Amino acid sequence: MTSPSLALSASRSRLAALADVGARRWLQLALAAVWLLDAILQLQSFMFTKGFGQSLAATAAGNPAIVADPITWSARLIEAHPTWTNAAFASVQVFIALGIAWRPTVKAALAASVAWSLGVWWLGEGLGGVLTGTASPVSGAPGAVIIYALLAVLLWPVETEGAFVAARPLGVRPAHLAWLVLWGSLAYFAVQSANRTAQGLHQMVSGMATGEPGWLASLDRDAASLLAGQGGVTAVVLAVVLAAVAVGIYGPVPAVRAAVVLAIVVAVAIWVVGENFGMILAGSATDPNSGPLLVLLAIAYWPSSAIEKRS
């Protein structure tokens, strides 16, 4: 006969598992909403001009020829046929968004989003600039679109239990490794020589004011003035914080929760100060950049209540 205490414990575990499934579904829907936002941004008038193809071609700069040549080829194709290529891009994003939002097609849509993200990461973002020596987490490295692919994998619908939502498809160790690689790479990018120059961050932030509404351009100028001459120190401090986030996932539950909260705070700060809300107010952004995606990813690592009770 099962004791009341064991039955209660089992019941709590089942409720916690159901709560995690609900959390995963909400994160899937949030990811679908971001894909839909991408589709809307893709329908901006700028995207139907040659300027869109030219902006994609610019991502080839600094990359090795094996990476840059396909970027240049695809950018020329888009520049020559901006209307139908851009309409196709927007349509794909709409289908991915609706597919993730509708339960019967969520797996197919997540799989499609991985393939699409990898292609766009290469041909649309130049691999996020990670091979150029100038990638910076402040401006969105390693590229927003690769985080879409990672989220699709970590939010894959499976019935197994996990210590947190992102651990369900792959297990705890691979999920931890994915977190370590992502946030560790951000720490590395932060202290690359190009990002440690005294005026590097100042120039990056001040340059984003172009095309933005007056209030946001003013904030950019204020932030840039604070960063003037402080690029090296700021880069090192940011790298230390990002490294703490990267390794914090391996600590006990309270430390993990602290690392996740810190990750969210850093992601929001990067999105506001470094990415100008993804520059979606400037009329030429194709996505909200990495900030919101890093927030979604961090939430997927929030420890399960059942795990906390057993610890």
Q: Give the domain ranges of the chain.
A: 14-310
C-alpha torsion 242→246→252→257, nearest 10: 60
Nearest-CA neighbor of 177 among 244, 111, 247? 247
d(CA 33, CA 22): 17
Confidence of residue 305 (pLDDT cuts 50, 70, 90): low
d(CA 298, CA 222): 29
Question: Computed over its alpha carbons, how large is the radius of gyration of the chain?
Answer: 21
Average pLDDT over residues 55-61: 96
76-111 pLDDT tens trace? 999 999 999 999 999 999 999 999 999 999 999 999
Residues 6+ apart with CB under 8 A from 257: 302, 303
Percent of the chain with pLDDT over 90: 73
Q: Using the predicted structure, report yes or no on whether residue 12 has a pLDDT greater than 50.
A: no
Give the pLDDT score at 3.
Answer: 55
3-state secondary structure the chain: CCCHHHHHHHHHHHHHHHHHHHHHHHHHHHHHHHHHHHHHHHCCHHHHCHHHHHHHHHHHCCCCHHHHHHHHHHHHHHHHCHHHHHHHHHHHHHHHHHHHHCHHHHHHHHHHHHHHHHHHHHHCCCHHHCCCCCCCHHHCCCCHHHHHHHHHHHCCCCCCCCCCCCHHHHCHHHHHHHHHHHHHHHHHHHCCHHHCCCCHHHHHHHHCCCCCCHHHHHHHHHHHHHHCCCHHHHHHHHHHHHHHHHHHCCCCHHHHHHHHHHHHHHHHHHHHHHCCHHHCCCCCCCCCCHHHHHHHHHHCCCCCHHHHHHC
Average pLDDT over residues 174-198: 95
Higher pLDDT: 276 or 153? It is: 153
Q: Using the predicted structure, report yes or no on whether residue 274 has a pLDDT greater than 80.
A: yes
Give the pLDDT score at 162.
Answer: 80
Give the pLDDT score at 283.
Answer: 86
Give the pLDDT score at 218.
Answer: 87
Q: Using the predicted structure, report yes or no on whether residue 11 has a pLDDT greater than 80.
A: no
- Report which residue type is found at 5: S
Give the pLDDT score at 227.
Answer: 84
Q: Using the predicted structure, report yes or no on whether residue 200 has a pLDDT greater than 70.
A: yes
Q: What mean pLDDT is reported for the chain? A: 90
Nearest-CA neighbor of 52 among 74, 88, 73, 82? 82
On the 0-12 / 13-18 / 19+ scale of CB atoms within 10 A, 159 is exposed
Q: Model-level pTM greater than 0.85?
A: yes
Q: Using the predicted structure, report yes or no on whether residue 122 has a pLDDT greater than 80.
A: yes
Give the pLDDT score at 137.
Answer: 94
129-177 pLDDT tens trace? 999 998 999 989 999 999 999 999 999 999 887 889 999 999 999 999 9
Average pLDDT over residues 272-276: 89
Give the pLDDT score at 310.
Answer: 42
Q: Using the predicted structure, report yes or no on whether residue 212 has a pLDDT greater than 90.
A: no
Give the pLDDT score at 214.
Answer: 85
Question: Cβ distance 78 to 42 under 8 Å?
Answer: no
